[in-house]
DNA sequence: TTGAAAGCGCTAACAG
DNA sequence: CTGTTAGCGCTTTCAA
């Protein structure tokens, strides 16, 4: 016994498929009596429209692709939640895949998602290269970058001002007299947000005439264990840092833990600022001073923007920059 | 200009659609020369098969639905990662949706996913009722529960032995002389894993002839703030607990933080054991003693099981119970 | 307000 | 080894 189709409903209700299709899709051009009749049959038969057939006929699947580095990282998980909530609101479903930031995976995923005829794509990656941009332009569907940017801003994106945010944090350190400020910058890429953060770091130092010391800058992934290693490296230095700026809360948390393990007091011996204000920030002691990136909102706004493109709505601004701020908690001292 | 189809490739290569279909699907019944010719045209035209059309014709979409309470919670995020990795391995994509454990959302999602013709479904929920079971049985696709169970074990599932795990943890506490052991049990449901944990708690007490005190048991969600509140409640008691067992690491972490805020020392004044061994456990100080539920593996095994059903492979066991253990870290004292 | 009919792009017999 | 031919279940003109 096969599934029940629109044809069965039509026959049973004594109308044509077209009419059934109309009532299912809420087309107003159906006489109320007819609508009721059809609705009853649908109810009775337990008819459920086949979205695949519908997708083939209408060329719309009401599903969007989401390519994300790693859903098991708090930051990305919160981003994803923002995306999914708005998607739900607009009746879209999400195909979610982890790329691990590998170019190969990324392109493979873009391809399979296009093959699955997603109506739009949200792409998240540290490194959006020209090749990515070409691929997105060739795709016949809208693409929005979330918490990611391409160098030339050719693809619509939702971010914060990473340079400025970092500049603010470093300047705060400088204002408290710090001269040796370490930077756990995140991955080494060529065109990502970690470059923007690096700019902010250097600009802040320059503005205060503090010489740049490359020993104080460490590249790594964003995970906890990377932070642990980085801290050890910094601790081997002859001139140790007195403040650390971290490109993620996980890294910052790792620094706090490593400090604790070394018997170093945070914030009195060393101050730490994180990035993202993930749930972690409030879940640790001392609580973490961190740059608030409205993670959930970035996801939500990115998805909202995508819906506008998908529905050919007017959009004023292709590159949305959300506000950021620093929230001061226990891992930094009060300003003098 | 419309997208390029299998028909275009066929015409261009001077073969039939069927032949193109064969080479695309790796059917061996194609002469190497023909295959090469077709492949070249595909390459040249940049042909990409339309998965929707394929899905309609073959009745297979190579996508599975995943209904999860909340992807922004570490535990579920790790579960999801396990699911997705194995899905990738078997060339499936995932439609991921958050249910927030609402019955309404859950049923709505089951419905839309069936409408989208997913080949299988992974369902995660604290509370799998008979109505859920009926729905799953009516679906014409395999369903696997991950870290979830239905009372009568009618639906295939992958879990650990929650009762035993809790029993072990409580028994450990008892072995160290604790008499007043609190339990943050998780949500109040009628048929979920938090009931199993509760059984373990009570059985352990009973085995040691320790009277049950309902004031020591607190129901809540699994989040950090819930734990904070629960701790306050416990702290108001005339006879405070000397040990706390928490149904999630977030709850345990909250207890540690609340204790810290009260100037109470963990583990010397009070011991804490968590559940799940999420990344959090190692990311806090003191590090967290916790019941190791192989979260990623549960997801992975559940997905693997689902692939077996989808491919009509032989499966020996419908309900898989993975091993658990307790990992002792800083939030508990050494055994005397 | 309704129905007929032509696809959407592909797979899957069935022939040859 | 290759081609022909039906569909898959639905949307969408176009007429009526």
Strands (E), B81-223: 93-98, 120-123, 143-146, 157-160, 181-186, 217-219
pLDDT at A2: 65
CB of B96 within 8 Å of a chain A CB? The answer is yes
Task: Count Cβ atoms below 10 Å from residue B72 Cβ, excluding itself.
Answer: 26
pTM (two decimals): 0.93
- Residue B2 pLDDT grade (very low, low, confident, very high; cuts 50, 70, 90): low
Residue B128 clears pLDDT 70, i.e. is over it = yes
d(CA B204, CA A336): 54
CB of B207 within 8 Å of a chain A CB? The answer is no
pLDDT at A298: 97
Mean pLDDT score of chain A, rounded to an integer?
Answer: 94
CB of A52 within 8 Å of a chain B CB? The answer is yes
d(CA B336, CA B331): 15
Q: What is the pLDDT of residues A97-106, one digit of tens each?
A: 999 999 999 9
Could you report how far apart the first and last alpha carbons of chain A are, in Å? Answer: 77
- Residue B285 pLDDT grade (very low, low, confident, very high; cuts 50, 70, 90): confident
Residues of B in contact with A53 (CB under 8 A): 56
Dihedral angle sign, alpha carbons of residues A150, A153, A159, A164 = positive
Residue A145 clears pLDDT 90, i.e. is over it = yes
Interface of B with A in 248-277 (CB under 8 A): 250, 253-254, 256-257, 260
Q: Is B235 left (phi over 0), alpha (psi -120 to 50) or beta?
A: alpha
Are the C-beta atoms of A180 and A235 separated by less than 8 Å?
A: no
Residue B1 clears pLDDT 60, i.e. is over it = no
Residue A286 clears pLDDT 80, i.e. is over it = yes
Q: What is the pLDDT of residues A200-230, one digit of tens each?
A: 999 999 999 999 999 999 999 888 999 999 9
Are the C-beta atoms of A72 and B81 separated by less than 8 Å?
A: yes
Contacts for A96 with CB less than 8 Å, ≥ 6 apart: A66, A68, A71, A80, B80, B84, B94, B95, B96
d(CA B70, CA B124): 10
Average of pLDDT values for A173-184?
95
pLDDT at B189: 80
State the Cα angle at B122 between B117 and B124, rounded to 5°. 135
Residue with CA nearest C1' of nucleotide C11: B57
Q: What is the pLDDT of residues B65-77, one digit of tens each?
A: 999 999 999 999 9
d(CA B233, CA B229): 6
Strands B325-327 and B289-292: antiparallel
Average of pLDDT values for B107-123?
97
HSE, CB side, 13 Å, CA atoms: give it for residue A255: 37
Mean pLDDT score of chain B, rounded to an integer?
Answer: 94
- Residue A336 pLDDT grade (very low, low, confident, very high; cuts 50, 70, 90): low
Q: Is B107 left (phi over 0), alpha (psi -120 to 50) or beta?
A: alpha
Which of A81-85, A190-194, A250-254 bottoms out in mean pLDDT, i.e. has the lowest? A190-194
d(CA A200, CA A214): 15
Token pair for A2: 């096969």
* Nucleotides in chain D near protein beta carbons (<7 Å): 1-13
pLDDT at B172: 96
Residue B336 clears pLDDT 60, i.e. is over it = no
DSSP codes of every residue in A138-198: HSSS-EEEES--BTT--S-EEEE-HHHHHHHHHHHHHHTT---EEEEEE---SSSHHHHHH
**Length reported for chain B:** 336
């Amino acid at each position: 016994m096969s599934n029940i189709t629109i044809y069965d409903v039509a026959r049973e209700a004594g109308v044509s498929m077209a009419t059934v299709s109309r009532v299912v899709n809420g087309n107003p051009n159906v006489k109320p009596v007819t609508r009721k009749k059809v609705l009853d049959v649908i109810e009775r038969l337990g008819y459920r429209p086949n979205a695949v057939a519908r997708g083939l006929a209408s060329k719309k699947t009401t599903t969007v692709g989401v390519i994300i580095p790693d859903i098991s990282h708090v930051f990305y998980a919160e981003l994803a939640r923002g995306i999914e909530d708005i998607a739900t609101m607009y009746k879209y479903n999400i195909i979610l895949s982890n790329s691990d930031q590998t170019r190969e995976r990324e392109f493979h995923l873009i391809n399979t998602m296009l093959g699955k005829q997603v109506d739009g794509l949200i792409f998240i990656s540290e490194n959006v290269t020209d090749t990515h941009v070409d691929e997105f332009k060739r795709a016949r569907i809208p693409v929005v970058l979330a918490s990611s940017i391409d160098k030339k801003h050719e693809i619509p994106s939702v971010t914060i001002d990473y340079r400025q945010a970092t500049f603010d944090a470093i300047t705060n350190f400088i204002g408290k007299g710090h001269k040796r400020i370490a930077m756990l910058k995140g991955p080494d890429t060529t065109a990502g947000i970690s470059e923007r953060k690096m700019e902010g770091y250097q600009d802040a130092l320059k503005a205060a005439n503090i010489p740049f010391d490359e020993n104080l800058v460490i590249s790594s992934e964003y995970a906890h264990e990377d932070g642990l290693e980085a801290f050890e490296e910094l601790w081997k230095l002859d001139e140790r840092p007195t403040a650390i700026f971290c490109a993620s809360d996980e890294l910052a948390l790792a620094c706090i833990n490593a400090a604790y393990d070394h018997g170093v007091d945070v914030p009195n011996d060393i101050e730490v600022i994180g990035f993202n204000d993930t749930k972690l920030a409030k879940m640790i002691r001392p609580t973490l001073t961190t740059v608030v990136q409205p993670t959930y909102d970035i996801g939500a706004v990115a998805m909202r923007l995508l819906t506008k493109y998908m529905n050919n709505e007017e959009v004023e601004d292709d590159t949305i920059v959300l506000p950021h701020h620093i929230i001061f908690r226990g891992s930094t001292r009060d300003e003098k």
